[in-house]
């Protein structure tokens, strides 16, 4: 007897001990007795069709593609504010740092075709869900542990090297990059800014740097944000470490796959999921 889509969502939440399904995660087409799953970072219409044609009981994605998971996505950005205030950024400064991102995500969701991919799964009656924040939180804890295990006088370069030994990051074809700062910068106080919907761009990193954080970790960042931050903080001993998007998402999604296989759901991985995972 396989699992239901709700039980599979629950497996991903249990990884981090959460009760509630976050706003960026949803079951688009529900199903029961799931014994096989095609799992990927991005599963959209073509991959849903592929899952259906190949006979998988479930298409399981990381990134949200529609419905509430896109429309209500700005709700998970509250986490950005929580992470910043936990590092001493005053609440009003944290809110201001994330205001533009909140507006962009709200406009993006509102203008998106939130029906597109889910409607394909409905037409095929292909069970389909995405789980986003919980696996990212799992990955955040892995990165946090790496930071906490380093000595008090560690450098930014030593942090980069330690992160690169995480199996997913080691196996990936992307490197861990130091986008702002030098390898011999003091690591100092580290903010692991992952599992907050998306990266916080220049404004969130700036808020951290201006309130005593020395090193910020993002899993991805845009070129414009890097350029802004370099201009302002390159000579200030501040560092921005970027671990690599898909490898970093794989850290949490591989843990979901391991947990599902333990429950008897046979998983095949595509689209970046499975990087660095031994099976």
Nearer of residues 185 and 269 to Fe ion, judged by Cβ: 269
User: What DSSP letter does each residue of 191-205 carry, written as one string?
Assistant: EE--SSSS--HHHHH
The CB-of-139 to Fe ion minimum distance in angstroms stands at: 7
Nearer of residues 38 and 156 to Fe ion, judged by Cβ: 38
User: What DSSP letter does each residue of 202-218 carry, written as one string?
Assistant: HHHHHHHHHTT--EEEE
Select the span of 115-123, 162-170, 222-230, 241-249 touching Fe ion (CB under 5 A).
241-249
One of 44, 117, 168, 249 touching Fe ion (CB under 5 A): 249
CA distance linking residue 179 with residue 144, whole number of Å:
19
Select the span of 143-151, 204-212, 246-254, 271-279 touching Fe ion (CB under 5 A).
246-254
The CB-of-63 to Fe ion minimum distance in angstroms stands at: 6
Which alpha helices (H) appear in 76-132, and where do they start and end?
Answer: 78-86, 91-111, 116-124
Select the span of 102-110, 135-143, 153-161, 165-173 touching Fe ion (CB under 5 A).
135-143
Binding-residue pattern over the window 93 to 132 for Fe ion, x denoting contact by CB under 5 A: ----------------------------------------
- Please report where in the chains the tokens 């542990």 appear, as a residue: 145
- Please report where in the chains the tokens 């609440």 appear, as a residue: 91
Contact flag: residue 137 with Fe ion (CB under 5 A): no
Beta partners for residue 47, in sequence order: none
Angle at the Cα of 136 (from 104 to 152), degrees rounded to 5? 105
Select the span of 11-19, 30-38, 245-253, 256-264 touching Fe ion (CB under 5 A).
245-253
Contact flag: residue 47 with Fe ion (CB under 5 A): no
Contact flag: residue 136 with Fe ion (CB under 5 A): yes
Both ends of the chain: CA-CA distance in Å? Answer: 23
Nearer of residues 76 and 81 to Fe ion, judged by Cβ: 76
The CB-of-24 to Fe ion minimum distance in angstroms stands at: 9
Exposure letters 33-53 (e unless 16+ CB within 10 A, then b): ebeebbbbbbbbbebbbbbbe
DSSP, res 24: T
- Residues lying near Fe ion in the complex (CB under 5 A) are found at 136, 249
């Amino acid at each position: 007897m396989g699992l239901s889509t709700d039980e599979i969502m629950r497996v991903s939440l249990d990884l981090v001990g959460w009760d509630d399904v976050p706003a960026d995660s949803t079951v688009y087409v529900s199903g029961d007795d799931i014994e096989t799953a095609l799992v990927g970072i991005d599963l959209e219409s073509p991959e849903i069709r592929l899952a259906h044609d190949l006979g998988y009981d479930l298409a399981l994605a990381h990134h949200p593609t529609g419905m509430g998971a896109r429309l209500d996505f700005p709700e998970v950005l509250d986490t950005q504010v929580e992470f910043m205030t936990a590092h001493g950024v005053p609440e009003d400064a944290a809110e201001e740092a994330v205001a533009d991102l909140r507006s962009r995500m709200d406009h993006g969701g509102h203008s998106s075709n939130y029906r597109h991919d889910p409607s394909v799964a409905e037409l095929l009656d292909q069970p389909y869900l995405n789980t986003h924040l919980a696996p990212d939180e799992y990955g955040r804890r892995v990165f946090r542990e790496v930071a906490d295990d380093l000595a008090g006088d560690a450098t930014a370069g030593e942090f980069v090297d330690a992160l690169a030994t995480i199996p997913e990051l080691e196996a990936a074809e992307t490197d861990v990059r130091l986008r702002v700062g030098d390898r011999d910068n003091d690591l100092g106080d580290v903010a692991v800014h992952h599992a907050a919907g998306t990266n916080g761009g220049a404004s969130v990193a700036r808020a951290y740097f201006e309130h005593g954080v020395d090193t910020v970790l993002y899993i991805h960042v845009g070129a414009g944000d890097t350029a802004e931050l370099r201009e302002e903080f390159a000579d200030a001993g501040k560092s921005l470490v970027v671990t690599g998007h898909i490898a970093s998402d794989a850290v949490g999604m591989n843990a979901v796959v391991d947990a599902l296989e333990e429950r008897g759901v046979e998983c095949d991985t595509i689209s970046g999921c499975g990087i660095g995972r031994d099976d």
